[in-house]
Amino acid sequence: DVSYTVVTDRLESVTGTDACDPEKALVLGPCFVAPQEYPRLSCRTVDLEPAPADLEEAARQVIAECRSASTERRVAYRNRRRYALKYVQTDLEANRVRPLERGGAYVITGGLGRVGMLLARHLVAELDATVILLSRSLPPERASWPGLLADETTSPDLRHTLHVLTELEAGNARYRILQVDITDSAAMQRLSAQLQRDYGSLAGVIHAAAVTRGPSLLCPMKSLDQHLSRSEEHTSELQSLAYLVC
């Protein structure tokens, strides 16, 4: 088994007045995703105060964490006190979590992908919802679906999409497929106006646009540019989604 400790500063907000650097949150990705993909790995983060007055004390804190058998994965030190992130049970009723609206209209980005299809199927089955599936490309013409489903050379992703759409149709589900690039702000503004005219208010917007195949932790260098270009699009995607929820 392999255990590693990542030492940071300005990562955790402990006291509420800490000066944090949001970019350092990126370190949490590999720290907590890697052990999920490789069970024999374990990781913890130790966040220190910037420029600690007592470097020897800070070094002792880090060494102690490296040697510790504690299962706490996010640790921070402030004024020589140790803090650890813990999750506590909460009462959903007391916090008045808004329930999903039965019969409402839900927008799903990446609607024709595997995650989008799974969510659409669930919303239709459990809430009798109307689902608006957003995708950069439209599926083939409806008349070609039976042939594509019977064709062994049809890609697994397309076969899965057509199978779920056929299933939704057989159940008389209310669904709609709209072609749009969600990184295009102008297109999203037009879409928002269109949906407001057609449905009034939306019950929810689910951002499910993602690539779910291939190695996510250790990707070949030749595919790194593709991963980086997709990550750069996330900011514009989230900004565009604001037009639907505001």
Is the per-residue pLDDT at 7 higher than 60?
yes
Mean pLDDT of 171-193: 93
Would you state the pLDDT for residue 239? 57
Task: Report DSSP letters for 71-115, one per residue.
Answer: ---EEEEETTEEEE-------TTTTTPPPPPTT-EEEEETTTSHH
Task: Report DSSP letters for 5-48, one per residue.
Answer: EEEEES----SS-----GGGGGGHHHHHHHHHHSTTEEEEEEEE
Query: What distance in Å separates the CA atoms of residue 87 and residue 83, rounded to the nearest whole number?
Result: 13
Dump pLDDT digits (tens) for 52-91. Answer: 888 999 999 999 999 998 889 999 999 889 999 998 887 7
Residue 165 belongs to what H/E stretch? helix 156-170
DSSP code at position 181 = -
CA neighbor of 130 nearest in space, from 108, 112, 109: 108
Residue type, 187: A
77: its two tokens: 């030190």
Is the per-residue pLDDT at 212 higher than 60?
no
